[in-house]
Structure 1
Amino acid sequence: MSVTPAHLRTLADRAEALSAEVRTVCDSVPEESPEHEPLTAARHAADWLARGANDLRSAATDLAKLQAQPCGLPWAVCPEHGNTLSSQAGISTCRVCRRTWNYSRPSQPCPEPVTWKVVDQAGTETRMCDGHVLGARAAVANATFVRLYDGSGAF
């Protein structure tokens, strides 16, 4: 079986639901009841399940990044602002957010994950990242833009 980010998120949801159910059961026992103290271990288990759910979500995000196809267009962009980079002495800087990269990003193939499918009037399909879509929306008339997923692996 192949593990997917969606599978890990489903497991995280189940762990979170089970944690909530255990807490509800434990909280239904009054503190003065003799059964209250033995439920301490169950409360700890609920905490572990909640932490496990968070770890599963984190693993899903990491797996999605590993499985994501890079945009690969021949010039890189700021992932948030698009074609807003300037480069000097091997340092690239976004002119909007001032984020920097320690290499000449504009001359590198784009490493950002593919999140969009763009189909132009002639039917040519190009897959690209969020940053490149910003420029494509302004430059490509009558194109169709289809969101593939949000970069976290969620389709």
Structure 2
Amino acid sequence: MTVTPAHLRALASRAEALTAEVRALCGSAPNGSPEPDHLAVARNAADWLARGAADLERAATELAQLQAQPCGLPWRVCPEHGNTLASRAGVSTCRVCGRTWNYSQLGQPCVEPVTWKVLDRAGTETRMCDGHVLGARAAAAGATFVRLDQP
């Protein structure tokens, strides 16, 4: 079985549910319970489960980043605003948000992660990032845009 970010997130969700269940059980014990040491152990276990859930979420995010394919289209874009970059002296700046990158956009392949599959009318498939899709939506009449499953 291949481990996916979705699998890790599902495990994290289960760990969060167990954490809540253990904490609820500890909270429902009557005051002056004859087994306070056992409740302390259970509370400690709930803390470990919570940390485990957070670690699984972090691992899912890191795995998704490792598995992400770069867009690779032959020019870079602002990931939020698309083809809005201006380059000068090795620095690219988004004309909308002002965000900067220390590279010239010209002739540099896009390194943003692929998040979309675009099918043109002829059936040609191109995979691209969020920023490139913004421009493609305006230019590719009749194309089909399919959001890839984001882990």
TM-score (norm 1): 0.91
SS in 1 for 2:126: strand
For residues 42-71 of structure 1, give each alpha carbon's deviation from its aligned partner in whole angstroms, at most 9, with x where no partner exists.
112212211211111111011111111111
- 1:2-151 to 2 correspondence within 5 Å? 2-150=2-150
CA distance in 2, matches of 1:20, 1:27: 10
For residues 4-44 of structure 1, give each alpha carbon's deviation from its aligned partner in whole angstroms, at most 9, with x where no partner exists.
11111121112111111111111110233233453122112
SS in 2 for 1:107: coil
CA distance in 2, matches of 1:35, 1:98: 60
1:75–1:108 CA contact under 8 A, matched in 2 = yes
CA distance in 1, matches of 2:17, 2:62: 22
Deviation at 1:115, TM superposition (A): 0.8
SS in 2 for 1:86: strand
CA distance in 1, matches of 2:18, 2:88: 53
CA distance in 1, matches of 2:141, 2:53: 44
Mind listing any 5+ residue stretches in structure 2 that lack a counterpart? none
| RMSD (Å) for aligned C-alpha atoms | 1.4
CA distance in 2, matches of 1:40, 1:108: 57
What code does the residue aligned with 1:133 have? V
1:29–1:36 CA contact under 8 A, matched in 2 = no
1:78–1:94 CA contact under 8 A, matched in 2 = yes
For residues 75-121 of structure 1, give each alpha carbon's deviation from its aligned partner in whole angstroms, at most 9, with x where no partner exists.
01111110011111111111111111111134310111111111111
CA distance in 2, matches of 1:105, 1:45: 51
CA distance in 2, matches of 1:120, 1:48: 50
SS in 2 for 1:21: helix
Structure 1 residues 141, 44: CA separation in 2 closer, same or farther (over 3 Å shift)? Answer: same
Mind listing any 5+ residue stretches in structure 1 that lack a counterpart? none
SS in 1 for 2:35: coil
Q: Runs (4+) of structure 1 moved beyond 2 Å?
A: 30-38
